[in-house]
Amino acid sequence: MAVNSAAIRWLGDHLQLLDQRCLPTETLWLDIRDSQQAADAIRNMVVRGAPAIGITAAYGLALEAQSMGNDASWVTLQNAVATLADSRPTAVNLFWALERLQRYAGDLQGKALAQALAEDAEAIHREDLAANQAMGEFGADLLPSGATVYTHCNTGALATGGHGTALGIIRSAWARNQLTGVFAGETRPWLQGSRLTSWELLNDGIPVTLVADSCAGQLMQQGKIQAVIVGADRITANGDTANKIGTYNLAVLAQHHNIPFIVAAPVSTLDPALPNGSHIVIEERDANEVRNVQGKSLAPEHCPVYNPAFDITPAQLITAIVTERGVVHCPDTAKINSHLAQTKES
Ligand code: MRU
């Protein structure tokens, strides 16, 4: 059965991914037929955003099982699991999805295993959309009427199973007539803000103003921002949050200006196994992502570069974490624990 979202189409015997490297100028869909192609698409940013990476990994494993026919078993799939797990290190949703699929280990083989994996990948895809819609409502409740918000990176339909996390809150608040506008930081070096977030918001008719990342402080100083809303790639047991590089800068600025700093992420982004953010592996990406923009060189050819893809925002700087289960205000280990223990929204 086909399951479709803005950037991920499941067609039963293969996957199609919208190549996010080409947006907003070109709409190109790539066919993915096995786990290696899925891992390459994740590593090379054809697909990106923590939940979308997890969904893609799940389909990638299902495709690998399909291609193995009668030989498919959890044991014969271990190379594919390792290949997918090696694609990007920081977003925990990737590992969460692979671990979830492990529930079929031992019980099923061959076509039955392939079918179970595909059905669960579809469930992960659908559940993420539902989680984002719930998160959108919980998050919108936190915003004052007429708010203008600032967001970073891309956390929208392109990055998830649909609607989005931080962008989902923005969409829900806009639908309630609660929002005046959105400032989107361009998100150097990969430009998720300018290439993807502004594109999604303009397509939805939500008033967005694109700014250079370095503009955030001035906007806050001028009183133009009522909340900062971002996504997450991994949230540790104490609430420390890994997200796109530059998120920490925004949290420090928000605290200085007494502006709420809201993190939106599904429960699949919580990693209670890690006590705090110092344990998170931060991906470092190719130097040319910083030296070049769209293939055009902007720096001396061999200039040394430091290119971490993510940073850690300490829990103390976070006003609230919003998941599909509700809101954790001023997060700490005890509150995250009890949030995880509850089965439905607070
Ligand atoms: O490098 P990316 O584009 O995968 O980074 C994405 C982010 O940092 C997002 O904020 C995060 O994954 C949440 S997406 C709903």
pLDDT digits (tens, 9 = 90+) for 235-266: 999 999 999 999 999 999 999 999 999 999 99
| CA 90 / ligand 1 centre spacing (Å) | 10
Each residue of 260-297: pLDDT tens digit?
999 999 999 999 999 999 999 999 999 999 999 988 99
Cα–Cα distance between 173 and 178 in angstroms, integer? 5
**Residue 297 parent element (H or E):** strand 296-297
Structural contact between residues 58 and 85, judged by C-beta atoms closer than 8 angstroms? no
Which range marks the domain in which residue 113 is found?
3-133
Nearest atom, ligand 1, residue 88 CA: 4
Residues 39 and 23 in one domain: yes
Residue type, position 221, single letter: Q
Each residue of 64-88: pLDDT tens digit?
999 999 999 999 999 999 999 999 9
Each residue of 132-177: pLDDT tens digit?
999 999 999 999 999 999 999 999 999 999 999 999 999 999 999 9
Residues 195 and 287 in one domain: yes
CATH code for the domain of 255: 3.40.50.10470
Question: Which of 46, 187, 243, 310, when mutated, tests ligand 1's pocket best, judged by the most ligand atoms within 8 Å of its CB?
Answer: 243
Ligand 1 site: residues with CB under 6 angstroms? 48-51, 91, 153, 155, 159-160, 165, 192, 231-233, 243-244, 309
Residues 84 and 122 in one domain: yes
Reported confidence tier of residue 1, pLDDT bands at 50, 70, 90: low
- The mean predicted confidence, pLDDT, of the chain is 97
Residues 77 and 168 in one domain: no
Question: Which of 154, 195, 268, when mutated, tests ligand 1's pocket best, judged by the most ligand atoms within 8 Å of its CB?
Answer: 154
Reported confidence tier of residue 345, pLDDT bands at 50, 70, 90: very low
Q: What is the pTM of this model?
A: 0.97
Residues 141 and 253 in one domain: yes
Residues 39 and 20 in one domain: yes
Residues 213 and 117 in one domain: no
Half-sphere exposure of 69 (CA within 13 A, CB side): 1
Could you tell me the end-to-end alpha-carbon distance of the chain, in angstroms, rounded to an integer?
34
Residues 51 and 106 in one domain: yes
